[in-house]
A = this chain, B = another copy of it.
């Protein structure tokens, strides 16, 4: 059965805060892209990262297995290159099967943490 959602999603406001307070790993400032694959086939995802001052970087390849959710810390991406901290970026997620995508930030630059989240913008086919 195909899963629910869309194959392409966009997030304009990416920003990994460059410092943190509090115990690791919970309180490390980070952003997460959360992917839900309700279908019965694995989702093969390609992330493209956009910047303000240079060409996009990607694809970052990720698998969201069938009937699973993946909460990927964007700080942890290594290939083709880490996303720089303290620098504005944007994200496009492309999948070969429908998924649902949400984006969240935990900012612990000051002593107390703060959260923000939004559903990514779904692109209709």
Contacts and interface: CB of A to CB of B under 8 A. Distances in A.
Interface in A102-118: 102, 104-105, 107-118
Nearest to A23: B109
By secondary structure, the A interface counts as strand
Contact of A116 (B5, B88, B112, B116): B116
A55 B69 CA distance: 10
B119 A121 contact: yes
A5 B101 CA distance: 16
Given A113-B109, A121-B122, A10 B68 contact: no
Interface in A69-86: 69-71
Interface size class of A (residues with CB under 8 A): 35 or more
B116 A10 contact: no
Contacts of A88: 34, 69, 71
Nearest to A89: B69
Given A51-B68, A71-B15, A92 B10 contact: no
A63 B118 CA distance: 25
Contact of A92 (B27, B38, B71, B121): B38
A12 B111 CA distance: 28
Contacts of A114: 112-115
